[in-house]
Amino acid sequence: MAEPRRALPPTESEIRGEDWDGRTLESETFDSVSFIDVDMTELVDQGSTFTGCVFRGVRFNASVHTNAAFLNCTFVRCSFFDARFVGCKLLGSRFDTCTWSQLTVEGGDWSFVDLSGADLRRVSITGVRMRETDLTKARLENATLRDTDLTGAWMQLTNFTGADLRGSDLSTLDPSAVTLAKAVIDVSQSIQLATALGLDVLPDER
């Protein structure tokens, strides 16, 4: 497999190859910990905080995270099949060659997150703050991205084909720099995108 695109940040301790399948975490704290090949399948996380941690080859499949925080963390070759994040903060985290099938994100703050090149097809993201998130070359075909704050997000060469974008802030999206075929938007967004293309939107005076 390809190596991570950037050097991993230093950590102070390591948890390797452990089986956390079905484990429950309640308001636990982890600082600068490296998690390597840890199985977190069906883990239930209530309000835990991970700061400056590195996750390599970790399986988050079917895990549920509620009001948890992953601050400035790095995820490399992790699997998030059917994972759910509710009201979580992932500020400044980055993801490299992860898999996301059937991911659900509800609320929370994913600002300044690096999701460049991520395959986010058919994921569901609703009501999330994603300010200045890097979605460069991300694939969001047939994804749900509703009521989400994308102010300042990097969206060059992002593929939104068939995506449901209703209610999301697209004020800084350049429609000429992304793929929007068959994407679903609301009326106010259509005016916003038309204006971004240099069109004058006027009322019908007939």
Residue at 6 is within a domain: no
Q: Are 90 and 139 members of one domain?
A: no
Cβ–Cβ under 8 Å, residues 20 and 45: no
pLDDT attached to residue 7: 77
CATH number, position 49: 2.160.20.80
The candidate with the shortest Cα–Cα distance to 122, out of 141, 94, 150, 148, is 141
Q: Are 30 and 96 members of one domain?
A: yes
Give the residues of the chain that fall short of pLDDT 50: 1-4
pLDDT attached to residue 49: 98
Cβ–Cβ under 8 Å, residues 35 and 58: yes
Last residue of a domain, one of 109, 143, 167: 109
Residue with tokens 């967004």: 189
Cβ–Cβ under 8 Å, residues 20 and 37: no
Cβ–Cβ under 8 Å, residues 106 and 127: yes
Q: Are 151 and 186 members of one domain?
A: yes
Q: Are 80 and 45 members of one domain?
A: yes
pLDDT attached to residue 198: 80
Q: Cα–Cα distances in Å, from 59 out to 40, 100, 133, 199? A: 5, 11, 23, 47
C-alpha to C-alpha distance for 133 and 105, rounded to whole angstroms: 15
Q: Are 99 and 114 members of one domain?
A: no
pLDDT attached to residue 3: 43
Predicted model pTM: 0.91
Residue at 3 is within a domain: no
Residue at 5 is within a domain: no
Structural domain tally of the chain?
2
Q: Are 93 and 173 members of one domain?
A: no
